[in-house]
Structure 1
Amino acid sequence: MNTKEFIKLCLHKITEFIAPIYFYRKALNIGKGLSNAKIIFLLYEIDKKRNESHWKIFFKNIRKFAGFACYEIGSKNYLEFLEQKKTEDLNHFVWFEAKDLIPLLGGFTDEVLCNLPPSIKLIYFDTFNTKHKKPFFKPGPSPEYFEDFDYLEGAFLIPLAEFRNNKEKIQKDLAGYIKSFVSEYSFNQNSVAHIPRIAFSVDRDYHSSQKVLSSQEDKPKSFVKKPLVSILIPFRDRPELLKVAVDSILEKSSYSNYEIILISNQSKEKETLDLIHFYTKNNPNIKKLEYDSIFNFSAINNYAAKQVNGEYLLFLNNDTEVISSHFLEGMLEYASKAKIGLVGPKLLFPDGTIQHAGIILGLTGMAEHAFKFQKDSDEFTAFGFPNSIRNYLSVTAACAMVSKKKFWEVGGFNESLTVCGNDVNLGIKLFEKGYRNVYLPHISLFHFESKSRKNTKIPDGDFIESMKSYKRYLEEGDPYFNQNLDYKFPWLSYNMSSVPAHLRNLERLKRLKPVLFE
């Protein structure tokens, strides 16, 4: 491909997905000046009088070429430049200094950028990773996820007005200002917009950029005042399961200020009664409650939650086994934060595959666990990693912690949901109260739910009641999911039409390897 053909390819149909702007030094003959560039402004101009829009791309030390409106600016006079009359109508920009981020012009259109409310301070996009050879379809604004993994990747826009209003900070430290700006607004979900459209290609190894989770496991937060945690375990007989669950807490927990509340739902077996007697006699922090009525998961846990002393509640199934010794303080670290609601760990099947890594509304038609049946690994998927801290609408009550105050603030579990959907409903109620629910992959337990067992009979009333709280998210979409992913097999497949045509041919990508910087 000669220079003329390459430029034509790059500029063809600017409002559609086109080839990324791979600026080859040799092809474009622009010399070595580009290798010193570290600041890139990609500014979107809207001419309201002519009802037209186009991009102006500003590089440090690059001259005008190929009809692009490019201007040469120095490393210290960009503020002065942005105040010039010819830039006064520019309203957004992309800033990045990484060599691995390439803009795809078709991702930025009037349709996307002109209909956003003025409160939006940060706009981010999906990307295509050329190293992993797959797209990265990101969730909606997820503060705890961003703390753990930089899913923004620099693929975002910021209103230019923010820079014009903070000249002194920018002049002193542009990179520092960008970092603090993004950190501040990433926690204000009303100020952040996610555009589920691939607008950048990224040549990056996500494994190397992901925070090492083992560091969190080794150094859990220490509490000066250790709040009491009430661990609520409902059961009906099955003493062999209950013993595994309780013994794993007693033997492995590195956090001492807890009480275990064993809630018997009409247990009758002698072996069960003997086990309960043994626990309550030999462990002063283990207590028994009797719920003598038909099974209702929500009612049982509400009944127990009203009688416990703990400041925090940990709902725990009797068919679980603790793996992580720091599971209580690890979950407390998040549950004790003012804006956090439910906190849930990673649950594994006995064979080590994932049973739970958060809950997604709409998955399989209603609600289902994220990454279920997938390997517990750092393998990158189109939805990211299963081993990243993430925000979800809810987590499973098979193991979930919440402050007792917040639990009752939203009315506890909905007792109309007797078997299924009660945890999702609780998570949604907390979310709609302004709390964020969090999944913690560095804390893990086994959940002995058989993959091959037939589904337990779920009352029709549970489906009807669940639909009342699910309806909005089934119609509008789960804010922590991505519409480009397949709702049946999101970790394995996605809507290929959402990927720019030129990126579907990975062999072609090898021939068009970007060399924007060295």
Structure 2
Amino acid sequence: MNAPRVSIIVLNWNGWKDTIECLESLYRITYPNYDVIMVDNGSKDDSIQKIKEYAEGRIKVNSKFFEYNSSNKPIKVFEITEDEAREGKFNKPAYEKFDPDRRMILFKNKDNYGFAGGNNVGIKFALSVLDPDYILLLNNDTVVDKEFLTELVKVAESDEKIGIVGPKIYYYDYNGRSDVINFTGADLILWKGKEKRYGAGEVERGQWDKILAVNKIEGSCMLIKSKVLREVGLFEERFFCYWEETDLDFRVKREGYKLLYVPTGNIWHKIASSNGGVLGVFYEYHMTRNRLWFLKRNTFASVMRRHLIYVLFWEIPFKLVSLVLYYKRPHLVFVYLKALLDGVIGLKTI
């Protein structure tokens, strides 16, 4: 029996150095039936050229997680335009002549459509042209274990009601360590708009080595059954970035599918590499605004009212003190307040 086909979508935005390390780790995996779809999200640097040079074997990747493999270079790059991707114009017979570790599909979006919109272009292309059994979304600032995809697919195939699975995610570098857990799934405290994030900051001791049903699989690495995406739809593009994967997670669960954390699939994540980090303007704005939109789309009005009371009487005072006095980032107060205002205004249409 053939292994299910998995189309892997990696989204790049001005981050080719991270991306080629991610790609080099991907091309070392043991899973036999996969596609690598490299979507550049309107980068302003020379990402496209550098990624092609990597595929040609002209850039050697250095990583603490693996040794560079020159034996599968050059990798054949099938480059198409965004319009061709959207229209499904692709020479699939020529592409299929190459082994999975010797081929790559590459296209550049005309603009930065965010995590949601950028990935949606890749997902639609994969579903219409390659017809995979699974879509794997993978952040470009990750490195994967060679067995990770085999382990994810094995669990996903065990039950037709499993919709999404995700791996154990470690910090790429936590004060020099690579054995500190970042994510093993999460549940949500909806009235606070916060995650109960499992394993975060814990040193690996085998304490999260059981499969776990959760409410959230993180967008940095999520394996989704194609039939589920065709049933529930893709990312809501108005989110642009952050909370869109949680919105998808909840829609999948509402249709009766399970979300599972898989402890035997391992990756390492650099965390918010492309947007300035968790104390950046981009992160603060989109995490705050989109939280309100997520709650409007996925909870009852009573939960939303309780959340707004919580924000007014607890979160706003706490943010003022922490951003100004502790983090010394007073400019983020204005970003946070604008995000709240835009979020409330957008509740009518989201």
Same fold (TM over 0.5): yes
**What is the deviation of 1:387?**
2.3
CA RMSD of aligned residues (A): 2.5
Letter of the 2:75 counterpart: N
- Match 1:448 to one of 270, 273, 298: 270
Letter of the 2:33 counterpart: N
**What is the deviation of 1:271?**
5.6
- Match 1:359 to one of 177, 180, 186: 186
Give the equivalent residue in structure 2 for 1:257. Answer: 33
Does the 8 Å CA contact 1:361/1:473 hold for their aligned counterparts? no
Map Cα deviations across residues 389-444 of structure 1 (whole Å, 9 max, x no partner). 10011200100101111112101112122111111111111111010100011111
Distance between the aligned counterparts of 1:388 and 1:474, measured in 2? 35
Does the 8 Å CA contact 1:317/1:399 hold for their aligned counterparts? yes
Give the equivalent residue in structure 2 for 1:295. Answer: 113
Aligned pair in 2 of structure 1 residues 316, 473: CA closer, same or farther (>3 Å)? farther
Distance between the aligned counterparts of 1:473 and 1:245, measured in 2? 42
Map Cα deviations across residues 315-361 of structure 1 (whole Å, 9 max, x no partner). 000000012x2211211122233100110001001222111110211
Are 1:242 and 2:242 counterparts? no
Distance between the aligned counterparts of 2:295 and 2:52, measured in 1? 38
Letter of the 2:295 counterpart: M
Distance between the aligned counterparts of 1:474 and 1:439, measured in 2? 30
SS of the residue corresponding to residue 23 of structure 2 reads: helix
SS of the residue corresponding to residue 462 of structure 1 reads: helix
Aligned pair in 2 of structure 1 residues 458, 270: CA closer, same or farther (>3 Å)? same
Does the 8 Å CA contact 1:347/1:356 hold for their aligned counterparts? yes
Distance between the aligned counterparts of 1:331 and 1:412, measured in 2? 21
Letter of the 1:328 counterpart: L
**What is the deviation of 1:470?**
4.5
Give the equivalent residue in structure 2 for 1:185. Answer: none
Aligned 1:17-32 pairs, distance under 5 A: none
Give the equivalent residue in structure 2 for 1:198. Answer: none
SS of the residue corresponding to residue 457 of structure 1 reads: helix
Are 1:276 and 2:97 counterparts? no
Give the equivalent residue in structure 2 for 1:312. Answer: 134
Distance between the aligned counterparts of 1:363 and 1:312, measured in 2? 29
SS of the residue corresponding to residue 210 of structure 2 reads: coil
SS of the residue corresponding to residue 438 of structure 1 reads: strand
Question: Would you say how many aligned residue pairs link Structure 1 and Structure 2?
Answer: 245
Distance between the aligned counterparts of 1:335 and 1:473, measured in 2? 34
Aligned pair in 2 of structure 1 residues 450, 423: CA closer, same or farther (>3 Å)? closer
Aligned pair in 2 of structure 1 residues 365, 377: CA closer, same or farther (>3 Å)? farther
- Report which of the two structures shows the higher radius of gyration computed on alpha carbons: 1
Distance between the aligned counterparts of 2:45 and 2:268, measured in 1? 25
Which sections of structure 2, spanning at least 5 residues, go unmatched?
Answer: 57-73, 77-101, 305-350
Aligned pair in 2 of structure 1 residues 258, 402: CA closer, same or farther (>3 Å)? same
Map Cα deviations across residues 272-296 of structure 1 (whole Å, 9 max, x no partner). 5232354286235311122222332
Distance between the aligned counterparts of 2:163 and 2:155, measured in 1? 9
Are 1:458 and 2:285 counterparts? yes
**What is the deviation of 1:450?**
6.8
SS of the residue corresponding to residue 249 of structure 2 reads: helix
Aligned pair in 2 of structure 1 residues 393, 234: CA closer, same or farther (>3 Å)? same
- Match 1:327 to one of 142, 148, 157: 148
Higher RCO structure, 1 or 2 (CA under 8 Å, sep 6+):
2
Distance between the aligned counterparts of 1:473 and 1:240, measured in 2? 44
What's the TM-score, normalizing by structure 1? 0.44
Aligned pair in 2 of structure 1 residues 244, 343: CA closer, same or farther (>3 Å)? same
SS of the residue corresponding to residue 223 of structure 2 reads: strand
Are 1:429 and 2:222 counterparts? no
Give the equivalent residue in structure 2 for 1:415. Answer: 237
- Which structure has more helix as a fraction of its residues? 2
Aligned pair in 2 of structure 1 residues 254, 317: CA closer, same or farther (>3 Å)? same
Are 1:371 and 2:193 counterparts? no
Does the 8 Å CA contact 1:428/1:469 hold for their aligned counterparts? no
Does the 8 Å CA contact 2:75/2:103 hold for their aligned counterparts? no
SS of the residue corresponding to residue 299 of structure 2 reads: helix
Does the 8 Å CA contact 1:420/1:458 hold for their aligned counterparts? no
**What is the deviation of 1:474?**
9.5
What's the TM-score, normalizing by structure 2? 0.64
Are 1:345 and 2:121 counterparts? no
Distance between the aligned counterparts of 2:49 and 2:120, measured in 1? 23
Aligned pair in 2 of structure 1 residues 272, 444: CA closer, same or farther (>3 Å)? same
**What is the deviation of 1:302?**
1.3
- Match 1:393 to one of 202, 215, 220: 215
Letter of the 1:360 counterpart: D
- Match 2:103 to one of 275, 285, 300: 285
Does the 8 Å CA contact 2:20/2:54 hold for their aligned counterparts? no
Letter of the 2:279 counterpart: K
Aligned pair in 2 of structure 1 residues 474, 285: CA closer, same or farther (>3 Å)? farther
**What is the deviation of 1:453?**
4.9
Letter of the 2:189 counterpart: G
